[in-house]
Amino acid sequence: MEPQQGAELCFPQLNSSCRKPSLPQKEALLVYVLLSSISLLTVALNLLVIISISHFRQLHTPTNLLLLSLATSDLLVGLLLMPVEIIYIEACWFLGDVACTMYYVVDYIITTASVANMVLISVDRYIAICDPLHYSAKVTKKRAQVCVCLCWIWAVCFRLLLMSDHLKQPGRSISCSGECVVVINYISGVADLVFTFIIPIAVIIVLYLRVFVVAVSQARAMRSHIAGQAAQRSGAPKKMEMKAARTLGIVILVFLFCFCPYYYPALAGEDTSIDASAADFEIWLAHFNSCLNPVIYAFFYPWFRKSIRLILTLQILKPGSSDTQIL
pLDDT value for 86: 84
The CA–CA distances, whole Å, from 304 to 90, 148, 255, 294, 327 equal 38, 21, 22, 10, 9
pLDDT value for 174: 77
Enumerate residues 6+ apart whose C-beta is below 8 A from 221. none
Total domain count, the chain: 1
CATH number of the domain within which 86 lies: 1.20.1070.10
pLDDT value for 118: 85
15 domain-assigned: no
99 domain-assigned: yes
pLDDT value for 150: 95
297 domain-assigned: yes
pLDDT value for 237: 44
Measured CA to CA, the distance from residue 42 to residue 37 in angstroms comes to 8
User: Does the CA dihedral 162-98-86-294 come out positive or negative?
Assistant: positive
Measured CA to CA, the distance from residue 242 to residue 220 in angstroms comes to 13
4 domain-assigned: no
pLDDT value for 153: 95
pLDDT value for 146: 95
Q: Please list the residues that pair with 273 across neighbouring strands.
A: 183
131 domain-assigned: yes
Structural domain that includes position 275: 39-322
Q: Spell out the per-residue pLDDT of the chain, length 327, in tens.
A: 444 444 578 777 777 777 777 777 777 788 888 889 999 999 999 999 999 999 998 889 898 899 899 899 999 999 998 888 888 777 778 888 888 888 888 988 998 898 898 889 888 888 888 888 888 889 899 999 999 999 999 999 998 988 888 888 887 777 777 778 777 777 877 888 888 888 988 888 888 888 878 777 766 776 666 655 544 444 444 554 455 456 656 777 787 788 777 776 666 555 555 554 445 677 788 888 888 888 877 677 788 888 888 998 888 888 888 888 887
pLDDT value for 145: 93
pLDDT value for 173: 73
